[in-house]
Amino acid sequence: MLLIYCPYCEEERSELEFRGAGDAHIARPTNIADISDEEFEEFFFLRDNPKGLIFERWRHIHGCGRFFNAARDTVSDKFKLTYKAGLPKPDLDATTPAAPVETYEATESNAK
Amino acid sequence: MTGANRIPGAGRLTPARTARFTFDGKSYNALEGDTVASALLANGVHLVGRSFKYHRPRGVVSAGPEEPNALIGVERDAARQQPNVRATVQEVFDGMKTISQNRYPSLSFDVGSINNLLSPFFAAGFYYKTFMWPKQAWKHIYEPQIRAAAGLGVSPKEEDPDHYSSRYAHCDVLLIGGGIAGLSAALAAAKTGARVILCDEQPEVGGAMHYDKSVTVDGVDGFTWAQKTAADLAKMSNVTVLTRTTAFGYYAQNFVALVQRVTDHISKPDRRLPRERMWQVRAKRVIIATGAIERHMVFANNDRPGIMQAAAARTYLNHFGVAVGRKVGVYTANDSAYEAAFDLKRAGVTVAAIVDCREKPGEAVLAEARSLGIEVLTGHSVIDTSGKLRVAGMSVARNGSSAKRNIAIDALLTSAGWTPSVHMFSQSRGKVAYDAESGSFLPGVYAQDCLSIGACNGTTDLQATIEEALAAGELMAKASGFEATGKVELQATNAFQWTGGMSGAAEGAGEDTTVKAFIDFQNDVCAKDIRLAVREGMHSIEHIKRFTTNGMATDQGKLSNLHGLAIAAEALGRGIPEVGLTTFRAPYTPVTFGTLISHSRGELFDPTRKTPMHALEEAEGAVFEDVGQWKRAWYYPRAGEDMHQAVNRECRTVRETVGMFDASTLGKIEVVGPDAAAFLNLIYTNSWDTLKPGRTRYGIMLREDGFVYDDGVVGRLAEDRFHVTTTTGGAARVMNHMEDYLQTEFPHLNVWLTSATEQWAVIAVQGPKARDVIAPLVEGIDLSNEAFPHMSVREGKICGVPTRLFRMSFTGEMGFEVNVPADFGPAVWDAIRAEVEKAGGCAYGTEAMHILRAEKGYIIVGQDTDGTVTPDDASLSWAVGKKKPDFVGIRGLKRPDLVRSGRKQLVGLKTKDPNVVLEEGAQIVADPNQPKPMTMLGHVTSSYWSENCGRSIAMALVVDGRAKLGQTLYVPMPDRTIAVEVSEMVFIDKEGVRLNG
Amino acid sequence: MADLATRTLPLSGFHGGSASASVSPAAPASRLSLRAKPDAVASLSAALGVDLPTRPKTSASSGSRHALWLGPDEWLIIDETEADLLTAAVSSGVLHSGTDISHRNTALFVKGRGAEATLNSGCPQDLSLAVFPVGACSRTVFGKAEIVLMRTAEDAFRVECWRSFSPYVSGLLAEGAEDSGH
């Protein structure tokens, strides 16, 4: 069970108080009614699902109720940073090596 | 007498304190503090179980949680029967009943042992190859047979009468393991003032001190020092010492799960105590001091009862005062086993010989053996054993020679060396590294804020362990923000430094041999099985593990993993580190379901939500249905009525006179602020600017993809205050959906949302006499059609308490929804109920509500829609504001797939035979005689018997449904085909005149 | 005209607890969910007669009135004398949202040396005095329910929950209280 630092409560809290809310920094177009099918597809349907650093939204739903953003490593499951909604995407070095991980699944994916 | 093998003066148990227990019906005496294993051994019982696959006789191998063989059933009463209990861990209590497992009809004569003779047919992987054909046989023959034969122990049939508890705890430093290392580290950490939790799986702390009597710490015996230190620690307000407590899972960010066994050792426990308590510990820092586990030697027939770890024999002697044999042999690859021989010899036991496969044992132990007059055969190996239900002899040969010497023994103590317990470290996702010098895997790269110390970190010297532990305790406390105020210093001595150790098959069990040299006792895996797996093409250790099942039993390979790995490495011609270790997984030792569930059972399994009027409805005889966590009154049967009759009466009554309905579970959100209307414009497809205070409107909410997400009536109470209602099931997610948009897309709006679902009790009063019913109770609101038309809201009083009174209808009748502060709900319900009674009406439940709304073609989001339905599909285009510049879903509605022709549209269905009621979910086709698979046009979403229409009615999603009005379609069912006519969705009062009363 | 409707309290008849922790329902109180931006805090504090706290996890009390910080723009105001909080907030004259939730919530008191352990049977927060001192408050979870927790004394907490969750919350508190003494 993760510990998540809520940027509004200024404290680490149990994951039980939070709910994930998908990718961050995907702004709803202000002219959404006028965008093309391709632009809508990009905005609404397509996500990268990266292995490694991901920017995502969480809500402290059973705490202060605020949505905020987080940078998390999907391999080590570690949060690198959380920050308030509306703040720009932080410049984190995406090449930071993932923490060592030893799982059967990881072994499998590396198997020749 | 507590057993013929109890040695007077040996051990730490109190001779006067005895307990009686039974094993397979036979009664034995034990001492308080005995484990079942020590008590049985004291009574000369070595045979305690049959192995899983071959049903070979098995005895006690260890004195701890790593035990693979001595798994027993423990019974307190009919409901309290615990299978697969490790006899080496379970403490004896007076009156306990224990049974052996995996044998029939008896432990000493077991028909399943035929498997041993048939073992050539049960080689590793047999399971995967044998039961392939014919295909049907797997499900009907093989699997049931295997299930009957497989598995150890028998589960109790009754509900578990015990209770279990759970507790979250936080600390600065968590110590896993209460041996010398853990205690020393705890002392150093606790002295800084840091919050410390120390847990140890045994009843008493001390770890290796249970067997090693040669240690002194600060001038006192090691075990005594450990008890005193634990007692001192427990007195400190910042320290919690938990014994009989196993850390079984190490999760992200130092979240460690412990299980504390509270009553399993007590004869007549206080029933208020939980049987077990789970501790969910969040530690700033963790110190792992889990010690090491002794490996057995791998040689032919090394599994006979009486063959055990050398250190286990020392524990039985030095802690429990039990000699495991009267003439013991020792077979070892390292020095530690010598000390077992010394201790036993000094206790008066005959040591037949120490067989050491090494040419050069440690000089100190060799000298001591000689001075004690023990024969030591260096460069020799035990190549076989004899004995049926207990070991009776060992065959010893010089390495490389075939000349055997048979030596009579009644116990054989073996040691291949020590495996550091890196389980917790590995679970923390730390990466282990192979240390060639010690031949073991040690903590390598750390993934979390933890440290390993002592034997689990490869530190073997006692004083070095203490120094390491004290430094770790201070360091980890400091890392949690605490400063040391003075050094803790401890001096310790012990008898011998140990050398040696091996892993893999010993002499006579190597390549090209076919002997049964067991590496995994519990799963009956032999050295040759590993080699077979490699020959069959398994080259990854993970595949070898699964093919052979090595390490996959409940002991998770605590003894076998390293042996299996070494044999695999040899067969693969690779080094041990290249082959690598399988991942350790939680739980470290088996954990009961009761503990994992803890409080979440019975009434506390999940919150059961009841409305304020629940008790009154129950008193009226309501039958309830589950709607999410809510209990809702489903129908109110009267004497002699079945559900059908009750529902028909309720439906008829609402249209003829009046009915009342508990609508409290509907979601309610109060939307407040100067930009409230602007916000609702964005969230709903409708337009809200034009809604005047005091009026209400039905609104539809979409997701961004254009599909219907929720609906409900929204009332405007003031310019800046709206009372929004949602579906019962949608309340929480609609609130989240609205907060999401408000906080992240439209944060510039001055508006706030508050859930008010439970602030209000809601009583719907529907029917021609609805106004008559509430009129005598309402104050301050003109109820006339002119002053209070359909789709309005007023604030006033009912029964003298404040109400938000809605004029609205989900039945098509004139209707009101009375909202009162929830605590007043029951009193107001009672008052309305009395008026309804006078008017000849009744209370109705959710089933009648569903039918009444279907008669009017009102949809239920989530029943008639499924997340792929647009407003147009549901004939709700009128509710979409055509001139609005933006709302959630505006762009999604223009997607090519949503505007194409041929979409499924919601329509009514009337069966040709009015008495036939369709099944919800049934598929619809144009031609029932077409070949299968048929082209399906849609499905039935709602279907009921309508008493008011005198026929069945249904709603359905049908391709181009609105263009098919009047056409005949078919609903194929398993036993018949039902002809239906496509109709409009409104079955009653198309003009809507009844709404105005 | 009908008789004045009487109140039926969600936890009427409940009693629980153990020698180490008592669990008892609180008396009815008026409650306001108050939402406002920082510039309205001073005026609202004056109007309500209690200083709205602006630090996370803190509360302020004035007599029988309590203001609990729940989020950066959200407070739970509780008045144990059932005073009209909505009208008081409106009298501030500043932009805010007030919603009456007096009947939405109900409350329990947990008191005794085992109070902390009782709450920790279902609440994952660190409730030690250093981290959750007297006056601290937080919306959090208790088992499978959401609660608002406030520490009223070293050995006492007020637990607020939605009314329909109160049988679950009181039941789990009772089990936690039983276990807290051991």
- pLDDT value for A106: 42
CB contact under 8 A, A37 and B895: yes
Same domain, residue pair B950 and B969: yes
CB contact under 8 A, B282 and A28: no
Same domain, residue pair B36 and B174: no
**What residue in B sits closest to A79 (Cα-Cα)?**
B253
Domain locations in chain C? 16-180
**Nearest CB neighbour to C141, from listed A8, A17, A64:** A17
What distance in Å separates the CA atoms of residue B146 and residue B126, rounded to the nearest whole number? Answer: 12
CB contact under 8 A, B603 and C6: no
Residue written as token pair 């861990």: B89
Asked if residue B134 is part of any domain, the answer here is no
Same domain, residue pair B624 and B657: yes
- pLDDT value for A109: 38
pLDDT band of A98, cuts 50, 70, 90: very low
Same domain, residue pair B259 and B276: yes
What distance in Å separates the CA atoms of residue B550 and residue B530, rounded to the nearest whole number? Answer: 8
**What residue in A sits closest to C132 (Cα-Cα)?**
A11
Q: Of B76, B94, B99, B125, which Cα lies nearest the Cα of B18?
A: B94
Q: Does the CB of A64 have a partner CB in chain C at under 8 Å?
A: yes
What distance in Å separates the CA atoms of residue B812 and residue B856, rounded to the nearest whole number? Answer: 6
CB contact under 8 A, C6 and B272: no
Query: First vs last Cα of chain A: how many Å apart?
Result: 33
What distance in Å separates the CA atoms of residue B931 and residue B763, rounded to the nearest whole number? Answer: 52
Residues of B in contact with A107 (CB under 8 A): 540, 542, 580, 583
Rounded (10°) CA dihedral C14, C15, C21, C27: 60
Per-run averaged pLDDT (10 residues), chain C, 182 residues:
80 91 97 98 98 98 98 98 98 98 98 98 98 98 98 98 98 96 80
Q: Of B773, B777, B765, B808, which Cα lies nearest the Cα of B790?
A: B808
Q: Of B588, B600, B629, which Cα lies nearest the Cα of C121?
A: B600
Residues comprising chain B, all counted: 997
Same domain, residue pair B730 and B797: yes
Report the CATH number that the domain containing residue B228 is assigned in CATH: 3.50.50.60
- pLDDT value for A100: 43
Q: Does the CB of A64 have a partner CB in chain B at under 8 Å?
A: no
Residue B552's alpha-carbon distances to B154, B437, B590, C53, in angstroms, are 19, 28, 12, 56
Domains of chain A: 3-110 (3.30.2270.10)
Report the CATH number that the domain containing residue B940 is assigned in CATH: 2.40.30.110
What distance in Å separates the CA atoms of residue B176 and residue B452, rounded to the nearest whole number? Answer: 10
Same domain, residue pair B204 and B231: yes
CB contact under 8 A, C71 and A14: no
C16-180 falls under which CATH superfamily?
Probable tRNA modification gtpase trme; domain 1 (3.30.1360.120)
ipTM over 0.90: yes
- pLDDT value for B2: 79
pLDDT band of B565, cuts 50, 70, 90: very high
Q: Does the CB of A85 have a partner CB in chain C at under 8 Å?
A: no
* DSSP tag of C64: T
Q: What is the pLDDT of residues B589-625, one digit of tens each?
A: 999 999 999 999 999 999 999 999 999 999 999 999 9
Report the CATH number that the domain containing residue B101 is assigned in CATH: 3.10.20.440
Average pLDDT, chain B: 95
- Whether the pLDDT of residue B111 is over 90: the answer is no
Shortest distance, CA A71 to any CA of chain C (angstroms): 22
Same domain, residue pair B514 and B481: no
Asked if residue B137 is part of any domain, the answer here is no
Asked if residue B244 is part of any domain, the answer here is yes
Cis peptide, bond prior to residue B587, ω within 30 of zero: yes
Residue B91's alpha-carbon distances to B10, B354, B553, in angstroms, are 19, 32, 22
Rounded (10°) CA dihedral B834, B838, B841, B843: 10
Report the CATH number that the domain containing residue B526 is assigned in CATH: 1.10.10.1100
Q: Of B781, B736, B741, which Cα lies nearest the Cα of B755?
A: B736
Same domain, residue pair B172 and B241: yes
CB contact under 8 A, A11 and C70: no
What distance in Å separates the CA atoms of residue B774 and residue B785, rounded to the nearest whole number? Answer: 14
Report the side by side order of strands in the sheet with B376-378: B307-309, B411-415, B327-332, B350-356, B376-378
Q: Which amino acid is present at B901?
A: S
pLDDT band of A76, cuts 50, 70, 90: confident
* Residues 6+ positions from B963 with CB-CB distance below 8 Å: none
Residues of A in contact with B743 (CB under 8 A): 66-67, 85
Query: First vs last Cα of chain B: how many Å apart?
Result: 93
Q: What 3-state DSSP class applies to B608?
A: coil
Residues of B in contact with C149 (CB under 8 A): none
Q: What is the pLDDT of residues B851-905, one digit of tens each?
A: 999 999 999 999 999 999 999 999 999 999 999 999 999 999 999 999 999 999 9
Shortest distance, CA B432 to any CA of chain A (angstroms): 9
Reported as type and span, the H/E element at residue B467 is: helix B462-479
Compute how many other C-beta atoms are within 10 angstroms of the C-beta atom of residue B648.
19
What distance in Å separates the CA atoms of residue B907 and residue B859, rounded to the nearest whole number? Answer: 11
CB contact under 8 A, A17 and C70: no
Asked if residue B644 is part of any domain, the answer here is yes
Residues of A in contact with C138 (CB under 8 A): 9, 63
Q: Does the CB of A19 have a partner CB in chain B at under 8 Å?
A: yes
Asked if residue B847 is part of any domain, the answer here is yes
- Whether the pLDDT of residue A102 is over 60: the answer is no
- Whether the pLDDT of residue A104 is over 50: the answer is no
Q: What is the pLDDT of residues B237-265, one digit of tens each?
A: 999 999 999 999 999 999 999 999 999 99
Q: Taking the mean position of all CA atoms in its chain, how far away is CA B990?
A: 54
Residue B511's alpha-carbon distances to B303, B323, B397, B514, in angstroms, are 20, 36, 18, 8
- pLDDT value for C182: 76
Report the CATH number that the domain containing residue B754 is assigned in CATH: 3.30.1360.120
CB contact under 8 A, C124 and A17: yes
Q: How many domains does chain B have?
A: 5
**What mean pLDDT is predicted for residues B342-371?**
97
Among B83, B117, B151, identify where a domain stops.
B117
B-contacting chains (≥3 CB pairs under 8 Å)? A, C
Residues of C in contact with B277 (CB under 8 A): 179
Q: Does the CB of A8 have a partner CB in chain C at under 8 Å?
A: yes
C-contacting chains (≥3 CB pairs under 8 Å)? A, B
Ranking A42-51, B155-164, B631-640, C19-28 by mean pLDDT, the lowest is B155-164
- The range of the structural domain enclosing residue B634 comes to 608-891
Interface probe for C, chosen from A5, A14, A19, A67 (most Cβ of C below 10 Å), is A14
